[in-house]
Amino acid sequence: MKKNDEIILEITALSSLGAGIGKYNGLAVFVDQTGVGDTVKAHIIKVKKSFAVGKLMEVIVPSPHRKDVDCLAFRQCGGCSFRHITYEHELMVKEQSVKDAINRIGGINLDPLPITPSPALCHYRNKAQYPFSYGEDGLCYGFFARHSHRVVKNGGCLLQPDIFEKAMQGVKVWADKFNLTAYDEQTGKGLLRHALLRFGETTGEVMVVLIINGDSLPFADELTKALKEYIGDALVSLEYNINKKDTNVILGEKTVLVYGKPYINDEICGVKVKISAESFYQVNRPAAEVLYKKAAAYIEKDDNIIIDLFCGIGTIGLSVLNLCGADGRYLYGVEIVPAAIENAKQNAVSCNAENCEFILGDATKAAGDLKTRGIKPDVVIVDPPRKGCDEGLISIIATDFAPKKIIYISCDPATLARDAKLLGGLGYSLKEYSPVDLFPATAHVETVALFSR
């Protein structure tokens, strides 16, 4: 097989990123937008020693799990992986991917609890990041194409709330009126890089943040007026963020308030929360409530001292206190983002949670500081980024803290499995783990796992 060959391929599995996998003369071939049971014609675009990558040209025999695609941008846009298969099959694929990671990477022969579906399949996201570019109609916005930074126009994305599209229409009208330019990665010129939007589902509040390649946002008052015309009083926060670096990181270090307040409000598990531009907040609030309730169910009556690492704006720890009762309990939260820690402190005040302390710092260093202070937790909760926990942090948790249990919330089955193996070597066994689908139509899946000493 060589590049530009066209082959007939039967798809027999799906990768963790959602690509179909078939074997051709013994070589694994990955083809996006295919499903198990498809027989397809694929154009080979890459050949390596151990695998090849093909582009879908034609579905010759459709999978029994295939369904009509409901998005015109699906073939180009990189946002969704599973708009072409049924949701029932998507859930099965995700549950199996978590199980395979735990079995193969973690070396643990334990089946997961049945995956929990998302309460909503469309318009569930409360956050979106739209890159700007130039198109046939001048300045345009959308999402990046698969495996590239080419912007695909996608008005009315099925993952986002309808109000996001209205807000972005207001941004485009404003930008066109004043001939504002889109950032060009090749030249480093152009003003508008991204628009970051947040939505408070329980309040209806919207935040708009323009990420710019400059020192200030021109015609900012006119943008406020344009957004007011398109989304009315839903606009409660307009900001711009300065990022002049040659980087794929979206947000720069400085955010400036233009209108309203530097946060929006929402509520999760009965906890009223403030969310700033830089803060982490689960993008699917109803499904996150399911996830947090599963985590809270592992808290027992005598679990009095709780450490919540990677706590963000405090949603997990404060939800646990609210769901399980705060009497006799003390919560320590650790987060590296300053704005998130400020939000966490405000959120604790808003729900009258006095028995908690939120600490700004790197999780590993802060955990070491808590150990030095003699804090001995009954439970440690971790909700790390996709890269998981580093070995130093795992060592502090398992050896120095030595809690009765560890509750691990993961957005990547592979790093969860890797860390489960490390914890196993330090005396903690995986008792159960439960996948929860927070990201319908995408290849991502969340998991909550319980480890006991």
Domains 94-119+284-452 and 127-264 share a fold: no
Task: Given CATH 1.10.10.60, say whether it is the number of domain 6-66.
Answer: no
| Share above pLDDT 70 across residues of the chain, in percent, rounded to a whole number | 100
- Classify each residue of 102-122 as buried b or exposed e, where b means 16 or more C-beta atoms within 10 Å of its C-beta: beebbebeeebeebbbbeeee
Average pLDDT, the chain: 95
CATH number among 3.40.50.300, 3.30.420.40, 3.10.620.30, 2.40.50.1070, domain 127-264: 2.40.50.1070
CA dist., res. 133 & res. 155, Å (int):
14
Supply the angle between the helices 285-296 and 315-324 in degrees, to the nearest 10: 60
Question: For 111-131, what is each residue's pLDDT tens digit?
Answer: 999 999 999 999 999 999 999
Question: For 240-274, what is each residue's pLDDT tens digit?
Answer: 999 999 998 999 999 999 999 999 999 999 999 99
Per-residue pLDDT, 16 = 80
pTM of the model: 0.93
Task: Estimate to the nearest angstrom the gap between the alpha carbon of 157 and the chain centroid.
Answer: 17
Pick the closest to residue 67 from 95, 43, 89, 41 (CA basis): 89
CATH classification code of 94-119+284-452? 3.40.50.150
Question: For 318-338, what is each residue's pLDDT tens digit?
Answer: 999 999 998 999 999 999 999
Structure tokens at 385: 């980024």
Which position among 269, 351, 356, 411 bears the catalytic label? 411
Strand partners, 131: 194
Structure tokens at 237: 């926060």
Catalytic-residue membership of 122: no
CA dist., res. 188 & res. 214, Å (int):
11
CA dist., res. 359 & res. 347, Å (int):
14
CA dist., res. 125 & res. 109, Å (int):
34
Q: What is the mean pLDDT of the segment spanning 136-145?
A: 86
Domain ranges of the chain: 6-66, 94-119+284-452, 127-264
